[in-house]
């Protein structure tokens, strides 16, 4: 597909047209299967149907639904017609969903029945399950538009943890490059990729694009549930999965389901959103003994292709810099510690409708990630933390990631999250939430003492609370804001 210029037209057509492209599995086990040819025809029908309804090149449509095969078809079809899909985080509050729809100027929102009520009055809403959806299809072939270099293929809205969500404009060429670069790293032809992360997020959507281009089969779950995820791996012999550390932690708690699960088919697990500590890596290898673990890094604005783990990166590292991506660390301790800036063809076009937002792209074309990394003597990079997450305690800069990494070296700590709380003397002080290793008996005093023995005293968490599982945001990342609120609430208790 090297001659493809339109991101919606990236479906590989060299293989069996009747082979399953997407196996959609409801949480009750019901299947919806789209072959490669059926996905192609449905995407063409969507493209023609949108144009027949009067939408034109550059117009936007919203998608507000749990994962389902026709979500992917509508996304591809819209892009073939030059219409811009806007996947919407349905876990946003209703007011934020309304803001995204208004800000993007979406003309119609394709949704599932469960989320139909979240579409504001006055906006055309089409439920996938309704007969109306078929009226938006116009069967037949269509020639995909050839996009301009500055033409958006899709808009992904950031989570909005620091204010209103921003729409990230991504070009056709950027994510065609992403899929091709990832194919060069790991040929997925004939693989079965399990996707349970939400399609409104870069991680899942980029994986769906990769599978379409690679002649792989997608096994698509509406959402992540540990038991359903484990069952799907065994039933469909999934070979390539993606996960975030909290997902692995949740699966490890399902003792009965694990005892019945056959996970031997998994050859690759791509971990993202948070570093993989030694304890979790060991437990993941025990859980998936035949799998190579990739500790991935990426951003919506800069894309998911930044580092390479070829040759086997050390535990906790995201790998070496890639020859096709320029990376640099900036700051007073650079080049061995600093804020990561990177440049590749995947960088966004800009933010939609936000002229007041300062561009994170430097004058020489590097995207400033606001993520702090360190580089070891062998050139391997390690995530330290977000500049936004750093706080000052008694005049000392504390990156939560540093403290979390230290705590997670304790053999009984599976995950840790460190957040600041107000302190009359220090300004702020660190506290921590910890998920114990299954079966471990660990108390607050032991964790504090471990921290004092393995890190500077100012870094040690002044309070420890234990959780069965970390609180997660709508993008399956640890929800630091919610944990900070919880910590403040705990400290206010008499």
**What is the pLDDT at residue 5?**
95
**What is the pLDDT at residue 163?**
64
**What is the pLDDT at residue 345?**
97
In this model, does residue 276 exceed pLDDT 80?
A: no
Mean pLDDT, range 369-389, rounded to an integer: 90
Instruction: Report helix, strand or coil for 388.
Output: coil
Lowest mean pLDDT among 11-15, 90-94, 281-285: 281-285
**What is the pLDDT at residue 160?**
53
Q: What is the 3-state secondary structure (H, E, C) of 424-469?
A: CCCEEEEEEEEEECCCCCCCHHHHHHHHHHHCCHHHCCCCEEEECC
List, for residues 25-38, the tens digit of each pLDDT value: 998 889 999 999 99
Which residue in 243, 109, 87 sits closest to 159, CA to CA? Answer: 87
In this model, does residue 145 exceed pLDDT 60?
A: yes
Confidence of residue 280 (pLDDT cuts 50, 70, 90): confident
Confidence of residue 164 (pLDDT cuts 50, 70, 90): confident
List, for residues 175-187, the tens digit of each pLDDT value: 999 999 999 888 8
Q: Model's pTM, two decimal places?
A: 0.86
List, for residues 67-109, the tens digit of each pLDDT value: 999 999 999 999 999 999 999 999 888 989 999 999 999 999 9
- Greatest alpha-carbon span in the chain: 70
Confidence of residue 390 (pLDDT cuts 50, 70, 90): confident
Mean pLDDT, range 390-416, rounded to an integer: 88
**What is the pLDDT at residue 2?**
56
Buried b (16+ CB within 10 A) or exposed e, 186-204: bebeebbbbbbbbbbbbbb
- Continuous H helices in 160-317: 172-185, 202-214, 226-236, 245-252, 255-260, 278-287
Confidence of residue 274 (pLDDT cuts 50, 70, 90): low
Residues, the chain: 494
**What is the pLDDT at residue 275?**
64
Of residues 107 and 251, which shows the higher confidence score? 107
**What is the pLDDT at residue 195?**
96
In this model, does residue 161 exceed pLDDT 60?
A: no
Confidence of residue 399 (pLDDT cuts 50, 70, 90): confident
Confidence of residue 1 (pLDDT cuts 50, 70, 90): low
Mean pLDDT, range 221-238, rounded to an integer: 95
**What is the pLDDT at residue 147?**
97
Q: Which of 79-83, 390-394, 428-432, 435-439 has the highest mean pLDDT?
A: 79-83
Mean pLDDT, range 336-342, rounded to an integer: 95
Mean pLDDT, range 58-69, rounded to an integer: 98
User: Checking DSSP bridges between strand 427-436 and strand 464-467, what pairing results, if any?
Assistant: parallel
In this model, does residue 309 exceed pLDDT 90?
A: no
In this model, does residue 220 exceed pLDDT 90?
A: yes
Mean pLDDT, range 422-435, rounded to an integer: 90
Tokens of 184: 């060069």
d(CA 16, CA 378): 44
Average pLDDT over the chain, rounded to an integer: 91
In this model, does residue 385 exceed pLDDT 90?
A: no
What domains lie within the chain, and their CATH numbers? 7-371 (3.40.50.12780), 389-492 (3.30.300.30)
Cβ-Cβ contacts under 8 Å for 438 (sequence gap 6 or more): 252, 253, 255, 414
Mean pLDDT, range 313-325, rounded to an integer: 89
């Amino acid at each position: 597909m090297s001659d493809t210029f339109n991101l919606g037209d990236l479906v590989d057509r060299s293989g069996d047209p009747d082979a399953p492209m997407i196996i959609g599995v409801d949480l009750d086990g019901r299947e919806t299967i789209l072959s490669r040819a059926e996905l192609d025809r449905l995407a063409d029908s969507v493209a023609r149907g949108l144009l027949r309804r009067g939408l034109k090149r550059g117009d936007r449509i919203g998608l507000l639904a749990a994962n389902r095969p026709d979500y992917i078809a509508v996304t591809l079809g819209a892009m073939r017609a030059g219409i811009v899909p806007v996947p919407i985080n349905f876990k946003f509050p209703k007011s934020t969903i309304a803001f995204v729809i208004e800000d993007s100027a979406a003309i119609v929102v394709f949704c599932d029945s469960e989320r139909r009520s979240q579409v504001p009055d006055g906006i055309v809403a089409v439920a996938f399950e309704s007969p109306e959806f078929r009226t938006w299809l116009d069967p037949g072939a269509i020639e995909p538009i050839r996009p301009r270099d500055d033409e958006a293929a899709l808009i992904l809205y950031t989570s909005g943890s620091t204010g209103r969500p921003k729409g990230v404009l991504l070009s056709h060429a950027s994510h065609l490059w992403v899929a091709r670069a990832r194919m060069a790293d790991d040929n997925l032809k004939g693989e079965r990729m399990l996707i349970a992360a939400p399609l409104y997020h870069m991680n899942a959507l980029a994986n769906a694009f990769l599978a379409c281009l690679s002649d792989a089969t997608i096994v698509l779950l509406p959402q992540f549930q540990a038991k359903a995820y484990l069952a799907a791996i065994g039933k469909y012999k999934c070979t390539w999965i993606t996960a975030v550390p909290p997902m692995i932690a949740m699966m490890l708690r399902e003792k009965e389901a694990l005892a019945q699960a056959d996970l031997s088919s998994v050859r690759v697990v791509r971990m993202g959103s948070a570093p993989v500590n030694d304890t979790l890596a060991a437990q993941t290898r025990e859980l998936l003994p035949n799998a190579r673990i990739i500790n991935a890094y990426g951003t919506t604005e800069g894309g998911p292709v930044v580092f390479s783990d070829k040759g086997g990166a050390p535990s906790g590292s995201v790998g070496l810099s890639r020859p096709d991506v320029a990376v640099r660390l900036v700051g007073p301790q650079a080049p061995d510690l600093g804020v990561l800036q990177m440049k590749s063809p995947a960088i966004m076009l800009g933010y939609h409708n936000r002229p007041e937002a300062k561009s994170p792209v430097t004058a020489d074309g590097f995207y400033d990630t606001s993520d702090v990394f360190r580089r070891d003597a062998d050139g391997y990079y390690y995530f330290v933390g977000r500049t936004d997450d750093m706080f000052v305690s008694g005049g000392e800069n504390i990156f939560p990631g540093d403290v979390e990494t230290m705590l997670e070296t304790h053999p009984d700590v599976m995950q840790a999250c460190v957040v600041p709380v107000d302190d009359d003397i220090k300004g702020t002080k660190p506290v921590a939430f910890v998920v114990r290793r299954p079966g471990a008996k660990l108390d607050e005093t032991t964790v504090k003492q471990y921290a004092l023995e393995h890190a500077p005293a100012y870094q040690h968490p002044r309070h420890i609370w234990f959780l069965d599982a970390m609180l997660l945001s709508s993008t399956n990342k640890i929800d630091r804001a919610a944990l900070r609120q919880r910590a403040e609430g705990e400290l206010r208790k008499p």
